[in-house]
Structure 1
Amino acid sequence: MQWTYLETTDDGYVMQVSGFGGTANPMKVAVKIDGDTVSSVKVLEYAGETAGYGKDLIEAGTGGVLNDKAKAFYDQILNGSFATSDVDGIDTSTGATMTTKGIVNAIKGAIEQAQKAPVVDGDTYTYTLTASGFGGEANPMKIKVSVDKAKQTVTKVEIEEYAGETAGYGKDLIEAGTGGVLNDKAKTFHDNVLNGETKWDDVSGIDTSTGATMTSKGIVSAIQEAIDQTK
């Protein structure tokens, strides 16, 4: 993972990323997302970024070995706003490439975090999450999980996308709970987890040895993520 989410503050999502200081001395960057716009980017900690390079980029956008692209980065990214869809096009060849790439990674992480924000209806929080099953990170599942905070219960789990889960294994688990190499535990998983309600405290005890273990473990990980974000 190129970023780590730390917390949400008034300045937005606070992400930890590596710049010139690497993992030993990372940056902390706060990114505020308003709908489809990145409205502010603040580099909160950057002791590992050196004078004449990343430090100057963050503080002024000029100085040292920095080029004109550094000033553009400073003006547009650190002191402006831009569409979330423009992130992949940000030019990081500023003379402090490791710093700018780190900041861009923080922005990408914040956008991903914002996409995980729940839809709240009373005590019900609904999250749309991704989880790796048999398809791995290249072809993850998209899972919608609804939880009732007051009752501490998972009320609904919908697998919206699962192209990476194969017939006879995860695909059959999701669609029917039977078929292929699936065992009796797969039907129980399908009926209880995907078509029932589960108390938060019982999630860790869900049996994923269904014949489609990678799929069922991925689904449980998404459920646990939704619970953790709601607590």
Structure 2
Amino acid sequence: MLVYLFLVNILTAQTDKVCSSKVVIVEDLNSIDKCKAINDKLDESEKPKRQVFLRLSHLNRRFLRKRKPDSKKVFKAKETVKAISELDAKGIKDNSGASATSNKIIKSKTSTSVFKLYEVDFIPVFKNCGKLVGKDVLECFKEQISIHIQNNFEYPKDALEDEITGKVTVHFLFNKNGSIKIQEVIDPNKDKILSDYTKELIKKLPSFTPATKNGIPVPLTYQLSLDFSL
């Protein structure tokens, strides 16, 4: 019983410490509410100031779930390639031109599409994650985004002076050329101080190797939310 209470006290202390950090990484909105409730109970001198809650756009189960089936067009192209390969193996027919055309259809669709995290064969890889494989790559991917936010976050001065708070959600691309492209920023505030700051913060993410599908670099769409709190 004493050991149990000791462990509970340790976990509670660790949770309190995390919730009082400048940048708090959370999995869902409930986690934000829990942290804010914990912080409200602290003395004024202990309450965190100029804080942001960072929520990434995915969970492991989304990344690992079964991919969506290919479209009918791509499926038909794959079946054509398979049939031609079987005929070639039997020495009945040689039609390399048709095979090349089918491959072009697949590559063309891949090169013009935008994919989600769980739809690609390999996710974007930051420099510090290069030697990892499997789930470790995903964990490192999330970690590098979190570290970037933690190391570079400073509450915008203008927002601080005007006591502006709120949740900003940003949708962006990990482009196939290795750049970041902002797609959309959702900010409930009329002035765009927080959204402009968030865009600049995301644009400065570390360099990365783009995602790939069918051996081709592809753009990957991603989303994260920053809940600014004073």
**Is TM-score (shorter-chain normalized) higher than 0.5?**
no
TM-score bracket for the superposition, by shorter chain length:
under 0.3
Relative contact order (C-alpha < 8 Å, sep 6+): which is higher? 2
- TM-score norm. by structure 1 comes to 0.24
The structure with the greater share of residues assigned to helix is 2
The structure with the greater share of residues assigned to strand is 1
Q: Give the greater-gyration-radius structure (CA).
A: 2
- TM-score norm. by structure 2 comes to 0.24
